Chain A
Amino acid sequence: MSCGKVKKLLVGYVDGDLDQKREDEVREHLGGCARCRVLAEKLETSSAALSSLRPVELSDAASVRILGAVEASGAPRKALLPGWLRSPAALAAGACVALILLSVVVVGVLVVDFGKDAEGPTPAVTEEKVATEESDLAYMPTEGEQSLRDDTGNLHGPAPTPVVKATSTDYTEESLREMFENLEVKETFGQRYTMGNAIGLGPSFVDKVTSEFEGLGQDPAVLESMISYVTVGEPTLLTCYVEKALFHGIDVTIIGFCAPPRSGTTTLLTRTEAWVMDPVKFVTSPSAGIVHFLEMK
């Protein structure tokens, strides 16, 4: 048997996978060929070395964390929606609802302006007014929220704005949940803002939190990217909370969003999502930047 043929059979020989006849032929060749014998020894060494490796398993904590992050990440977000919401027809209907809500907002602003000015606003004035109202974080009424206004349509108290802070708190899964359960801004957002508000106010709230974050000496661009990554295709997520903190000793940015519930009839933002993001990892790989995900319905 030639060296070339033996080489092809050598792995099978070392692993004991050859039939008796082949095994005898290879053994006979090895008896007289030092070069092939060296190769066989190397294959034996690597085989023994590899079989000494014990199986490794994903820890339970990492397993839970990864599943949460996977289900919550970007496009897969659809997987969290009930099946009926995921059909193309439902998505198209959703887009129509979003357009209608936006129209309601714009028409509402026009009506308010006409009421104040008998001659009516020019289109340019209207746009400016919309921008001003957004930057003022004004409350925009939608159906079902009338109870929050008095008879003259005025708001009860000031409109809540997002909380931004930098701390050295070292959170765990449990302490983070506890913090969010008792978070006041989550409650006020849930009582005051609706799906329509989220669409209208979202961009100005992002500007606000990134600007305040920069004021705390943090990188606003990465925060903006992280919010954009989470909210892409999800315009009804309204940023309510940003905290630069630690999570199991790692520097993270915790971003809280208020969102409409996944089922039910209310459009109030009564559901909360908390995303714990590692900004360093996020820059190189957004999905790997998701450290932990928490949802409160």
Chain B
Amino acid sequence: MPPMNEAIEVSSQEEDGLLVKRVTAGDQGAFEELYSRYRHKVFSLSYRMTGNTSDAEDLCQEIFVQVLRKIGSFEGRSSFSTWLYRVATNRSRDFLRKKKRTPNLVSHDDQMVDSDPVDPPGDRENTGEPETRALSSEAQAMVQDALLELPVNLRTPLVLHELEGFQYQEIARMLHLPVGTVKSRIFRARIKLAEILEPHKEHWR
């Protein structure tokens, strides 16, 4: 069972559709409303795909730039959310390819000496005792690092299903893949993730 973010409700989809119409008619406030609705979700996907705040913010920006550029091509055949995540996953793939070609670029996180590299951004629930918090943060960083070791074609459906809460059918529509392929990729991703984490699995027992 996906842990969070249930599928977008019908009423919410209708509201999205109205907002899209207003954006294409020139209403800047409507775009800001859409941005406000989806910024954390898009950032979350970006962070899970890139593994650091700086890249995630850059990717998030690229995704919304693309959304605004392409919003006129949204025809309403799928929900706006599905369309948005399709744009987001395509941009993520391009971003990671580009990043791979220019590995020497230093990210902001690398430059910030004072920041805690294992604390994810905006993690407002991370308020436990210092020792517990440290262990928890360390374990989370291990999982995030393990995610980054997965090939992008496995990482993407895994993140969408397990962390962003989408059903197999929705992911299949986003990624233009048969549902069976999505299921099998998520299965393989979970097996591979566990194998990467095998030396540290006591953390999650």
Contact = CB atoms under 8 A, between A and B. Distances in A.
Most buried by B among A52, A58, A71: A58
Contacts, number: 161
Given A42-B191, A285-B98, A52 B204 contact: yes
Interface string A5-30: 00110110001110000000000000
Nearest to A48: B204
Contact of A56 (B59, B120, B146, B191): B120
A13 to B, nearest CB: 12
A81 interface: yes
Interface in B164-197: 183, 186-187, 189-191, 193-195, 197
Given A80-B28, A86-B26, A58 B191 contact: no
A228 B195 CA distance: 49
Interface string A77-118: 001111100100000000000000000000000000000000
Chain B residues touching A, range = 35 or more
Contact of A290 (B59, B61, B68, B190): B61
12 contacts: A49-B139, A49-B142, A49-B146, A56-B123, A57-B122, A58-B60, A66-B39, A82-B26, A288-B58, A288-B61, A288-B62, A290-B61
Interface of B: 1, 3-4, 23, 25-28, 31-32, 35, 39-40, 43-44, 47, 57-62, 64-65, 68-69, 95, 98, 102, 105, 108, 111, 120-126, 136, 139-140, 142-144, 146, 158, 162-163, 183, 186-187, 189-191, 193-195, 197-198, 201, 203-205
